[in-house]
A and B are shown apart, each in its own frame.
Chain A
Amino acid sequence: SAVISQKPSRDICQRGTSLTIQCQVDSQVTMMFWYRQQPGQSLTLIATANQGSEATYESGFVIDKFPISRPNLTFSTLTVSNMSPEDSSIYLCSVEEPGQTTYEQYFGPGTRLTVT
């Protein structure tokens, strides 16, 4: 399976600032996704990062708040803009790869964001 790395692994940010999270994959992948995991919760899909076009956002998430770049098939960034304490979460990058019988998703180690 693909090896996925994220930077930074964690950060503490002041409200009103922005943070850009990087996701690097060791192989070319078509589908890349960004998820948010709030404390003690499951995963919520923010958007699908499309190479060469705008990201596709899920209900409740907008491009102005979470701009995403996907310049090539191995890299993506997610920016959390104008942060508030409610944005404190783990942000996870994920890729989809063909498995033995169906496509499977693999995750990076996550970026733990705390907004003060």
Chain B
Amino acid sequence: TQLLEQSPQFLSIQEGENLTVYCNSSSVFSSLQWYRQEPGEGPVLLVTVVTGGEVKKLKRLTFQFGDARKDSSLHITAAQPGDTGLYLCAAKKTSYDKVIFGPGTSLSVIP
């Protein structure tokens, strides 16, 4: 059983569209990270959220941590081909635990 679920698994959209991907769990986490992995590269850390309800923005990307710290969303505005990649959420139950990774959302933005 996956401790972290991500949806959708695959997403293909046209350049300029908006999209939201989700990371869900029945567990409460002390912190949650979002990574983007481009083909042939390692995952790159985008953001860390630690407070329930927290919202962080990174240019066209908006990240939200659920009030109960069990879920998170990543919203991309006006997607560009450079946003193409595998988006991974990762979380820890406590600061002493190992990081758990979700299965990922594969995003393809078509020019």
User: What is the interface residue range for chain B against chain A?
Assistant: 20 to 34
Contact with B along A83-107 (1 / 0, CB 8 A): 0000000001000000111111111
Determine the main DSSP class of B at the interface with A.
Answer: loop
Option from A1, A42, A102, A108 in Cβ contact (under 8 Å) with B31: A102
User: Are B41 and A101 touching (Cβ within 8 A)?
Assistant: no
A29 to B102, CA, bound (A): 25
**A residues 1-29 in Cβ contact with B at 8 Å:** 1, 4
The answer to whether A107 and B42 have CB atoms under 8 Å apart is yes
Interface size class of A (residues with CB under 8 A): 20 to 34
CA distance A11 to B36 in the complex (A): 24
- Residues from chain A with a CB closer than 8 A to the CB of B92 are 102
**B residues neighboring A (CB under 8 Å):** 30-31, 33, 35, 40-45, 48, 50, 88, 90, 92, 95, 98-99, 101-104
In the A-B complex, the 3 residue pairs with the smallest Cβ-Cβ separation, listed nearest first, are A107-B42, A102-B31, A43-B101
